[in-house]
Amino acid sequence: MSAQNPISAAWRLDFGATVEADGSVRFRVWAPHAATIDVKITAPNPGRTRLIKSDDVFEGTVDGIGPGSDYVHVINGLTERPDPVSRWQPYGVHGPSRIVDPAAFTWTDERWKGLPLEDYVFYELHVGTFTDEGTFDGVIQRLPHLRDLGITAIEIMPVAEFPGGRNWGYDGVDFYAPQSTYGGPEGLRRLVDACHREGLAVVIDVVYNHVGPEGNYLSAFAPFFSTKYRTPWGDAINYDDADSDGVRRFVIENALYWITEFHCDALRLDAIHGIFDNSAKHLLQELSEAVHAQAKALGRSCFVIAESDLNDVRVINPVSAGGYAVDAQWSDDFHHALHVLLTENRRGYLSDFGRMDDLRKALAEGFVYDGCWSAHRRRRHGSSSRERPSWQFVVFNQNHDQIANGSGGNRLSTLISFERQKLAAAVLLCAPNLPMLFMGQEYGETAPFLYFTSHSDPELAEAVRRGRAEEFVSFKWNREFADPQDEGTFHQSKLDWALPQRPRHAALLALHRDLLQLRRDSPSLHCCRKDLTRVEASESKRWLSMERRAANGSSTLCLYNFADRAARAPVALGGRRLLLAIWTGDTRYGTEAGTTPPLQVLDGSVNHVVLPPETAVIYTSHS
């Protein structure tokens, strides 16, 4: 297959190093910038073979080597570089690549067909700080905790090989090589296989808007970057300039690689507003179509989820409506609306939020900014998502970015009261969208989540340190600046797995479990239909009422009080009878005894409910 051929549904990775049936290894590399390419075997049996060029693709077969052999490509007889489609970089971003036979792994998930997207309850985690081990195998040890909590999908921050061993993953440079310090490709396969045994889907965070600055050798092979556009990370990836077909293939095949060779269930696309493409068919549409076709060929469900601050409904609209057919996207507006109500922090982009109606609109429609004026941007922003189903929005009240960048590393557990933490959990987990927790949130982890790196280039390390320090000062965060290059910054960000055994943390964990159990068992909470969701709010009294119904007639009434005093929220039951299911102020959730509980039963004689301060009250009925 040449660099320009379209992706087939019967796809397999055809570039990089491929172990053939006869034991030989075939090498293929797209390299229009090169005149010659040799593959140099560095271990265990050194040798060098000239690859044959045809249509900018260099190809050749080498005998006497196999899985475990290390190699580099020699460009124009002089420059040694790792394979741009390396499956493994055991010595890091600057070292040789290693030959891997993906067929050698024994999978046990043959019955796994994936989950419907509507069933996803996400748990975002960073492999390096999720456990003391900081590896894929370390994550496996905690999967029973996540299963019992009610999580259905883990979302792993980027794992493409990055410099050193401490990084968020957004500095990845080897798109096809799972991070060596995490356990490499076999470690990731073990993790995905274990997740499927536990009934958990796996979402991989992929970065197609930029490439990290250290170990980025792609330009030695091909025109991977374009000066037509500028991103916060430098030149944009070349998706629509000269020779861009090969770049698009490289990225789309990478998406197919994760779902095919690693059995992943979904991809989260980082910051798609940094993907610039004026082609007639946008990269996002082409990628979504390829993923869906390959999923069908594999007999599984696979999804594409975007991170976007564009509030552009085209991203999630079907192709028939002029969209890109991305399955879902993160909902920053939900986070911002809820975060400001909880913290009163209006720094930067949060200055556009702070009204109860913002949260109401986020729950009822999706985008808060849907073409209306944004004071922060000083222009109109967004388009209406009113017609898109609620399950197309992934909602959260914390994530890696909003903690480290939006709150200076401070988690909500250190910013708001314990009662407000429980209120936030109830709003999130009863939303008519797809909820996501950030690791440790379920028990109120107090360790910060900070930005950390381990660049080996002193000038680059200093530039990163200086840039983060300037940003930190400008936001005036209420903590000391943490040097990204300091190993202590990384260790500060690790979870403390002793906390869930302490009383207050255990109580918060119990609330999360009960809320997720209620969501799973209640048809009205599991349903994501906007036409069966009604949301009202009082700006002056600071309460919000959300009624969610199911097609079978059952319903759930969620009442939230954001005020520090009791509030009277009106209810209209229409002859229905509802029972108290969860009250966040209950003593079993860590609240001290003495607070007057809300009504246990609502019927036709009740026209309002008195809500204790900073609590959520949830009532349910059955058909």
Active site residue 459: no
Q: Which of 574, 577, 575, 586 is nearest to 617 (CA)?
A: 586
**Cα–Cα nearest to 106, from 192, 43, 8:** 192
Rg of the chain over Cα atoms, rounded to whole angstroms, equals 25
Distance CA 475, CA 327 (A): 34
Calpha distance 307→302 (Å, rounded) = 17
**Is 266 in contact with 231 (CB distance < 8 Å)?**
no
Report helix angle 503-521 to 418-429, nearest 10: 20
Residue recorded with tokens 């990084």 = 167
Q: In this structure, is the dihedral angle defined by the CA atoms of residues 318, 324, 328 and 331, taken in order, positive or negative? A: negative
Q: Which two tokens stand for residue 330?
A: 């993160």
Catalytic residue among 193, 245, 289, 307: 307
Decide if 374 contacts 358 (C-beta within 8 A): no
Contact 129, 168 (CB under 8 A): no
Integer angstrom CA distances of residue 358 from 33, 85, 143, 332, 370: 51, 45, 35, 12, 11
Collapse the DSSP code of 438 into the 3-class scheme (helix H, G, I; strand E, B; otherwise coil) and give the result.
strand
Residue in this structure with the two tokens 């920053």, named with its chain if needed? 332
Whole-angstrom distance between the N-terminal and C-terminal Cα of the chain?
57
SS3 413: helix
Q: How far apart are CA 223 and CA 115, in angstroms?
A: 38
E strands along 67-200, which residues? 70-75, 79-81, 97-98, 122-125, 153-156, 160-161, 174-178
Distance, CA of 420 to CA of 426 (rounded, Å)? 10
Residue 14, both tokens: 């055809």
Q: Please give the structure tokens belonging to residue 397.
A: 């009240």
Q: Which of 124, 161, 265, 270 is catalytic?
A: 270
Residue 585, classed as helix, strand or coil, is coil
CA distances to 14, 30, 45 from 66, rounded to whole Å, are: 17, 22, 10
Positions marked catalytic: 270, 307
